[in-house]
């Protein structure tokens, strides 16, 4: 039995292909079949596990999955048609569905994902409901991961998902081509979905993973398709793509050979991907060709300054950008990042007062930042904040980083 099937390959393929399979089936047969599409995708991976463990991994595992999914889809609708004939209650729409051939070429898969994202981002639901559903169905996020992305409770997310699915089913929702106005009006919600998808990859809140590169790659791939389409090649699309390129350029430097997180100031700059940095510059220039400035413009500009380590004025520019960003869209993360930049410009003493005004006492990053700021002023207070940060942090990697900081401070205190 090939243990690599269960330990490495299948989990990797599941993350990459499960949502694509679901999207293709739903695009062809309609959203009312969403649960069926998810079941077929799940059964496909179960079949892969059973078969590959006995017969070994096929030459082209991804193609194998799509062939099996295609056959399972045909079998399902064939059984459905037979059943309806037997009970003399033939539904013509389902008869036609059974005759359709499921196309699974690369372009169809890619188009289906984007088509489904735009279709799921339907004004029939609230913006939050649209994004939650897109993250679950198309990005494979669990309820916990969606709750983390929205900084809210899992029960709230469950209710949003139930309402969103029910609303689209009630409307006999189908995934159909949208006109230019519909695409444009839904673009902001689609970009927010891709932004959250990338963020979960870049700085995962998963308890056992720090970076999920496959999510970053998927977000970039989908955003690039938007940038290459005349209807969606807009300033905010280019700004988001620029941000993703800048952030991805540092992925390799963010972990050491043992998989431990490496803080920004300690990263080996030689490991930064210069080609991705250049692409980030290219898309950022394109982004500023329009008059509208979005949060993605500001975040991409901040990421740009992080790629220029030798500019002595960069933190002043970064702070100015955070001042603008916090006015556009306030969040605790933005406020804390601004405070860090504030410390770089005005010193730790003044920054401590800025941070403590936020009073985010249940936030691990809040205590982690205060620990950092107090480290050069009062080691005991710094240690206390770092301990609170460890207690409030779910991520195993984040806990390890905090523990290393605690050990360093204790060593300094003992010397």
In terms of Cβ atoms closer than 10 Å to its own Cβ (0-12, 13-18, 19+), residue 166 is: exposed
Q: Are 208 and 395 in contact (CB under 8 A)?
A: no
What Rg, from alpha-carbon coordinates, does the chain have?
A: 24
Q: Which residues pair with 255 in a beta bridge?
A: 261
**Residues composing the chain:** 415
pTM recorded for the entire structure: 0.80
Reading the chain (415 residues) residue by residue, the pLDDT tens digits are: 455 555 567 777 877 788 788 877 777 776 667 778 888 888 998 898 888 888 888 888 888 998 898 888 888 877 766 655 555 454 444 444 444 555 555 666 666 777 778 878 888 788 889 899 888 877 778 888 888 888 788 999 999 998 888 887 666 566 666 778 888 888 999 999 999 989 988 887 665 667 888 888 889 988 998 998 888 999 999 999 999 999 999 988 888 777 777 877 788 888 999 999 999 999 999 999 877 899 999 999 999 999 887 778 899 999 999 999 999 999 999 999 999 999 999 999 999 999 999 999 999 999 999 999 999 999 999 999 999 999 998 888 888 889 999 998 988 766 4
d(C-alpha 284, C-alpha 265), whole Å: 24
Q: Which of 347, 291, 357 is nearest to 326 (CA)?
A: 357
CATH tag, 311-415: 1.25.40.10
Structure tokens at 298: 């500001």
Backbone angles phi, psi at 88, to 5 degrees: 55, 40
In terms of Cβ atoms closer than 10 Å to its own Cβ (0-12, 13-18, 19+), residue 74 is: middle
Q: Which of 173, 158, 195, 74 is nearest to 122 (CA)?
A: 173
d(C-alpha 122, C-alpha 134), whole Å: 10
């Amino acid at each position: 039995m090939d243990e690599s099937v269960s330990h490495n390959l299948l989990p990797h393929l599941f993350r990459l292909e499960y949502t694509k399979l679901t999207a293709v089936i739903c695009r062809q047969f309609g959203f009312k079949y969403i649960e069926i599409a998810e079941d077929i995708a799940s059964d496909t991976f179960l079949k892969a596990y059973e078969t590959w463990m006995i017969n070994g991994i096929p030459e082209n595992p991804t193609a194998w999955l799509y062939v099996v999914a295609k056959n399972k889809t045909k079998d399902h609708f064939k059984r459905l048609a037979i059943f309806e004939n037997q009970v003399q209650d033939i539904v013509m729409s389902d008869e036609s569905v059974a005759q359709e051939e499921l196309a699974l070429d690369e372009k169809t898969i890619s188009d289906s994902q984007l088509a489904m994202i735009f279709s799921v981002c339907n004004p029939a639901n609230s913006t939050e409901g649209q994004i939650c559903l897109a993250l679950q169905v198309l990005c494979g996020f669990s309820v916990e991961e969606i709750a983390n992305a929205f900084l809210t409770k899992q029960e709230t997310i469950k209710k949003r998902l139930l309402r969103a699915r029910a609303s689209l089913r009630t409307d006999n929702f189908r995934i159909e081509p949208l006109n230019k106005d519909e695409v444009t009006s839904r673009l902001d919600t689609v970009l927010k979905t891709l932004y959250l998808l990338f963020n979960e990859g870049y700085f995962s809140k998963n308890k056992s993973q720090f970076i999920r590169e496959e999510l970053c790659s998927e977000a970039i791939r989908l955003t690039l398709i938007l940038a290459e389409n005349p209807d969606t090649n807009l300033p905010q699309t280019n700004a988001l793509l620029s941000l993703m390129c800048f952030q991805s350029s540092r992925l390799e430097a963010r972990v050491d050979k043992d998989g431990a997180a490496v803080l920004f100031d300690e990263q080996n700059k030689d490991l930064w991907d210069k080609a991705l940095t250049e692409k980030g510059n290219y898309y950022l220039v394109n982004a500023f060709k329009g008059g509208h400035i979005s949060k993605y413009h500001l975040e991409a500009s901040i990421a740009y300054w992080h790629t220029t380590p030798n500019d002595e004025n960069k933190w002043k520019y970064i702070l100015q950008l955070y001042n603008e960003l916090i006015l556009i869209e306030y969040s605790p993360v933005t406020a804390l990042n601004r405070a860090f930049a504030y410390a770089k410009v005005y010193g730790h003493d003044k920054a401590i007062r800025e941070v403590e005004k936020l009073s985010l006492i249940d936030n691990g990053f809040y205590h982690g930042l205060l620990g950092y700021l107090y480290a050069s002023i009062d080691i005991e207070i710094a240690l206390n904040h770092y301990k609170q940060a460890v207690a409030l942090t779910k991520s195993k990697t984040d806990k390890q980083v905090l523990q290393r900081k605690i050990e360093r401070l204790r060593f300094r205190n003992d010397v």
